[in-house]
Structures are given as C-alpha cells and as structure tokens.
Homo-oligomer: A and B are copies of this chain.
C-alpha cells in the first residue's frame, strides 16, 4: 500500500511577453495557463487527456483552486512547472509548483481539484470513475 507512486509530470516553458503586466511581472491570473499545460502533460502521460476523458463519458471541470505566489515571474524567464497527483478516490487533486528552471527557486505553489461529471446526465460523481484509477495504476 505504502509504495504506490502516483503520477507526476514536468514542463519547461519560457514566459511570453503577453503574460506580463504593467508591473513587469506575470499577471496572477495567467499562471493558470501554465498549470493547465502541465496538467495536460501529466494526463497525456497516463493516457487520459481531455479528449480521452470526454470519450470515457466524463468531463472533469475544475471546482476548486488555490495558488500562492512566492516570487514574481518575468518576461523570457525559463520556468519549470511541476505537477503531481495527490488525491484520486473521490476527486482528482493535483499539486503544482512553478520553479525558476535554472536556479530551482520556487515561484508559486498551489492545487486544483477536479470532479467527474457524467457527460450525458450531467451528474457529479461522488466516487471517481474506475477508468481514472485504472489510468493512475491504482485500480482497487
């Protein structure tokens, strides 16, 4: 039990000019784009990306997110976005960190929580559908 390794992923990207605000730092709302790109990378690796989610009969909207901004990000900065699964039984909780790619200094940390919603009925699922557990390699 204790040795389950939940999936994680990393993504490097360079901060684009259009994400930076008049203070010369990335506007806080734009961080969610970086988180999504890392999240999609992780989901691609476990073969359960957005299109596969939909094909499996479920949508997985984000229902809760928190983000703490520790150090500013600047134009052209090379960053590493790290994401890992921390909960999956009833909902999919992912933890994120954004680091400066060179120094490793942490710029922000946070999470997103997604729940499965049946595509046809629109019903929220109180237990994660078996396909998620299977894709995570934690099938009961």
**Residues of chain A at the chain B interface (Cβ within 8 Å):** 16-18, 20-25, 27-30, 32-33, 36-37, 40, 49-51, 59, 61-70, 72, 75-76, 112
A64 to B108, CA, bound (A): 9
Are the CB atoms of B22 and A17 closer together than 8 Å?
yes
Are the CB atoms of B68 and A63 closer together than 8 Å?
yes
* Given known contacts A17-B36, A18-B36, A29-B36, A65 and B66 CB-to-CB distance under 8 angstroms: yes
Interface residues of A, dominant DSSP: mixed
* Given known contacts A22-B24, A50-B75, A65 and B62 CB-to-CB distance under 8 angstroms: no
A49 to B61, CA, bound (A): 27
Are the CB atoms of A21 and B23 closer together than 8 Å?
no
Are the CB atoms of A69 and B75 closer together than 8 Å?
no
* Given known contacts A33-B29, A66-B66, A18 and B16 CB-to-CB distance under 8 angstroms: no
Are the CB atoms of B75 and A64 closer together than 8 Å?
no
Are the CB atoms of A16 and B33 closer together than 8 Å?
yes
